[in-house]
């Protein structure tokens, strides 16, 4: 499969998963006290550059359909910038976790300041930071590392930053060996 097709397909799948999680958990995904489980996906740029596009598109669609225009602007901007910074900081996994936490905590409370619904910026900053810490650190970090390990075990190539890198599925050794019996299907 060509790199561009694989890249776009993964980005679309990530966007769909982000949107689906935000939709299913809509009552707790929006507002000053939010538990947006889909934010756990913002760490995927650690090993999938296409996740930058995927989480941004998923966030945009969720905010566009279920929130205010200010959330579309500030929330999507926070997710985009956080995903890009996570990608660029991917060599230091501890630092790479910080952009989603900090940027969402700083930018998302601006939504309620701008629309005049809640002027308590620092209170909302604390609430968003707490919810991001729960989602990103307690759910996103374990999920990301388990997913990366599973994709590597399955033989799915992950982005390493090499020029002209091609996404391919590499066969596992157990799938290529058939113990000398040419008629037996490989396992």
The C-alpha atoms of residue 59 and residue 61 are separated, in whole angstroms, by 6
Domain count, the chain: 1
Question: Model-level pTM?
Answer: 0.81
Q: Residue 185: is its pLDDT beyond 50? A: no
**What is the pLDDT confidence band of residue 186, given thresholds at 50, 70 and 90?**
very low
Q: Is residue 114 part of a domain?
A: yes
User: Do residues 141 and 97 lie in contact, with contact meaning Cβ atoms separated by under 8 Å?
Assistant: yes
- Kindly report, residue by residue over 96-133, the tens digit of the pLDDT: 999 999 999 999 888 888 888 878 889 989 998 999 99
Helical (H) or strand (E) element with 121: helix 121-132
User: Do residues 128 and 108 lie in contact, with contact meaning Cβ atoms separated by under 8 Å?
Assistant: yes
Q: Is residue 187 part of a domain?
A: no
Which domain, by its residues, includes 25? 3-154
User: Do residues 113 and 119 lie in contact, with contact meaning Cβ atoms separated by under 8 Å?
Assistant: yes
Per-residue exposure over 34-48, b if at least 16 CB sit within 10 Å of its own CB, e if not: bebbbbbbbbbbbbb
Q: What is the CATH number of the domain that holds 19?
A: 1.10.1760
- The reported pLDDT for the residue numbered 116 is 82
Per-chain mean pLDDT for the chain: 84
> Please, what is the Cα angle at 23 between 21 and 84, to 5 degrees?
55
Q: Is residue 133 part of a domain?
A: yes
Q: Is residue 54 part of a domain?
A: yes
**What is the pLDDT confidence band of residue 79, given thresholds at 50, 70 and 90?**
very high
Q: Is residue 168 part of a domain?
A: no
Q: Is residue 178 part of a domain?
A: no
Count other C-beta atoms under 10 Å from residue 183's C-beta. Answer: 5
- Please compute the mean of the pLDDT values over residues 69-91 and round it to a whole number: 94
- Provide the sign of the torsion angle of the four alpha carbons 55, 40, 79, 169, taken in this order: negative
- In sequence order, the 6+-apart residues with CB closer than 8 A to the CB of 22 are 29, 36, 37, 38, 58, 59, 62, 66
């Amino acid at each position: 499969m060509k790199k561009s097709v694989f890249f776009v397909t993964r980005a679309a799948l990530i966007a769909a998963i982000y949107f689906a999680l935000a939709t299913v958990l809509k009552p707790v995904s929006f507002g000053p006290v939010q538990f947006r489980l889909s934010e756990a996906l913002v760490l995927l740029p650690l090993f999938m550059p296409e996740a930058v596009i995927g989480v941004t598109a998923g966030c945009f669609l969720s905010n566009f359909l279920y929130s205010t225009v200010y959330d579309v602007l500030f929330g999507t901007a926070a997710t985009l910038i956080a995903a890009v910074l996570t990608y660029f900081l991917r060599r230091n996994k501890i630092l790479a976790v910080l952009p989603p936490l900090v940027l969402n905590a700083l930018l998302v409370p601006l939504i309620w300041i701008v629309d005049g619904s809640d002027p308590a910026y620092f209170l909302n900053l604390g609430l968003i930071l707490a919810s991001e810490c729960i989602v990103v650190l307690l759910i996103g970090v374990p999920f990301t590392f388990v997913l990366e390990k599973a994709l590597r075990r399955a033989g799915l190539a992950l982005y390493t930053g090499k020029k002209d890198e091609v996404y391919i599925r590499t066969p596992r050794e157990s799938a290529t060996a058939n113990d000398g019996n040419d008629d037996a299907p490989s396992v």
